[in-house]
Structure 1
């Protein structure tokens, strides 16, 4: 679902608009050092949110993992046993009636190539990167606007690097299902209102900056992503957070997405706070950086006076 959201935002972004300087406002740029600690237990890092009679074990997850990457699931399996629920990130829904509008939107992403003449250095980088991941269709990118080029290039590079954007989410959900633990999203949002906002308000500069960000990550190759994934699997939180964030930064360039990111954090905070009303224990997983960011999920819970224990405490 995170991948679908990113794709929709990028796909909606470049439907027109005048170019202007575009800075990136990043509400998750800074992290709380006290929360960024290595795990005591084997496998990925867990935090614990608790009150008098409830404990919620919270796992921070990356946006993707290399295909077939092994990670220790023993702590996850143990904590799923007897859990009241598996709380997952917010989800975005679109109905069948929204499909025609989405298809029309995609059609508006065709481009006459003017941006290539205006940004020759960026176009040359794009040609090299695209040729490396799709040599049979080396010029296919030229018919699309920059933001959609960035989306496709990112997807192709992920495929070349054998990154699975469905992981570790799918494995977590499968293990919960086997233990008959029901999953529940922190919130449910409709996709189309967001897309309509993105169509109305956009800038050409956002697409160009997004493409540049994507090229930075593509040119660096898969090694930084794999290193961050390996650190995540071994509970080294600081190193896991050091991975490239080009896709996230692209999202942040789109109109309304910064506020949306903050809303998702509020959704997760409230869902955890509400879950504390149910005695026993539960399991949750949310994006790692959103958990440990300043004014992120765990920071906001602590501000409410809720007890948060770090991975160093086991």
Structure 2
């Protein structure tokens, strides 16, 4: 059975470096409500341009979450796709398991149980008292009296809390960009390239059992999630608005308390993750995407691609790698004399 897991790849490949943070007081309700999330039709950002001679690769940078009630007009993207000879999908991973469909269904109850702490511990047992007090405050604020989450590992508790926060803020992680891109690709019959790495998972049952019993270094995931909730919900909303309204300068100037890498690394760098090859996932998928980009720039007059914002802006990620190889990289509205700087700010939560 093959399972395509696009979300995991975005998390694993979009995580930037942690920015330094000064201690801040938790946001008040008034501060959290100071920014209204946009709704209705919105243009989205312009496109980054990578070029080699006359050949061009147009890249749309995405962020998540986005305003829940917005509709993306995407006029520029539709036009570029219609005029392109190829579209490159976001980097992806395909997991191949050693069990058939029925076998995987039989493992679902066990997989659900993997969210819980081993040895029936609760978050109160696992977290330092100060951190647990912060957790209780935000859980009550956004999740009410939900007690089931107290049995979860910190990484899964953090995710449950974060999803509740997004709903409260009128934000959503529901895919906005790719469904529209796929529709345009099919309409114009444009060849689609999917940069793909296949991970074969052997002894699925044994690895799942080992994961349930393993210790994860995931307290940092919950800590960073609480830091973001306490201090930067206004920035989270502002970034979503900036993407929706096409304010590229605003997108490039802001950064968030890093959350994704602490959560992703807890999984990828665990003993189970390393045994399954997850610890090298970021590098392997990056190489796959870069190979597709180079090929497209060699043969196509125009190519369209989608990447996470961190993959576009981060100096250690995709577009900077192409720039280092001699390709011209321009942000929306820039010329070749004013390209992405080496010290470009990073983005988080891709």
1:150 is the counterpart of 2:171? no
* 1:48 match: 49
Q: Which has the higher contact order (CA 8 A, sep 6+)?
A: 1
Kept after mapping to 2: 8 A contact 1:91/1:185: yes
Q: How big is the alpha-carbon RMSD for the aligned residues of Structure 1 and Structure 2?
A: 3.4
Superposition map of 1:191-230 within 5 A? 192=201, 199=211, 203-204=215-216, 206-220=217-231, 222-230=233-241
Match for residue 20 of structure 1?
Answer: none
Q: Cα distance, 1:228 vs. partner?
A: 0.6
Is the 8 Å Cα contact of residues 87 and 185 (structure 1) preserved in structure 2? yes
**SS at 1:138's partner residue?**
coil
Number of the residue aligned with 1:121: 130
SS of structure 2 residue aligned to 1:277: helix
The answer to whether structure 1 residue 270 and structure 2 residue 291 are counterparts is yes
Which residue of structure 2 aligns with residue 66 of structure 1? 67
Moved more, 168-177 or 141-150: 168-177
Could you tell me which residue of structure 2 aligns to residue 160 of structure 1? 168
Q: Deviations over 1:282-302 (max 9, x none)?
A: 100111111221231111112
Find the partner of 1:236 among 239, 243, 248: 248
Change in CA separation of 1:160 and 1:179 when aligned onto 2, cut-off 3 Å:
farther
What displacement does 1:201 show? 11
Q: Given the alignment of the two structures, is residue 297 of structure 1 paired with residue 321 of structure 2, yes or no? A: no
Unaligned runs of 5+ in 1: 10-25, 32-41
Q: When the two structures are superposed, what TM-score results if normalisation uses the length of structure 2?
A: 0.68
Question: Is 1:106 paired with 2:112?
Answer: yes
Instruction: Give per-residue Cα distances to partners, 1:27-86, cap 9 Å, x unaligned.
Output: 73289xxxxxxxxxx741322222245221111111331112255522212211122222
Give the 3 Å change call, closer, same or farther, for CA 129–5 of structure 1 in structure 2.
farther
1:28 and 2:16 are equivalent in the alignment: yes
1:82 and 2:76 matched: no
SS in 2 for 1:55: strand
Given that 1:228 and 1:243 are in contact with CA atoms closer than 8 Å, whether structure 2 keeps it comes out as: no
State which of 4, 7, 16 in structure 2 corresponds to 1:3: 7
8 Å CA contact 1:64–1:167 kept in 2: the answer is no
Normalised TM-score (structure 1): 0.75
| SS state at 1:312 partner | coil
- Distance in 2 between residues matched to 1:303 and 1:221, nearest whole Å: 33
Equivalent in 196, 199, 206 of residue 187 of structure 1: 196
Deviates more, 1:287-296 or 1:259-268: 259-268
Q: CA shift at 1:273, angstroms?
A: 0.5
Distance change in 2, residues 1:268/1:239 (3 Å)? same
Change (3 A) 1:187 1:6: closer
Candidates 130, 137, 153, aligned match of 2:139 = 130
Contact conserved, 1:91 with 1:187, CA < 8 A, in 2? yes
Residue number in structure 1 paired with 2:307: 286
Judging changes above 3 Å, is the alpha-carbon distance between structure 1 residues 72 and 158 closer, same or farther for their aligned structure 2 residues? same
Separation of aligned partners in 2, 1:269 and 1:5:
15
| Structure 1 CA distance for aligned equivalents of residues 90 and 109 of structure 2 | 27
Shift, 1:236, TM fit: 2.0
Counterpart-to-counterpart distance in 1, 2:176 and 2:200 = 22
In 2 relative to 1, CA 276–251 (structure 1 residues): closer, same or farther, beyond 3 Å?
Answer: same
**Shift of residue 274, structure 1, vs aligned partner:** 1.5
Aligned length: 284
On the 8 A contact 2:319/2:329 being kept in 1, the answer is: yes
* 2:177 maps to 1:177: no
Match of residue 13 from structure 1: none
Q: Structure 1's 159 and 178: CA in aligned 2 closer, same or farther, altered over 3 A?
A: farther
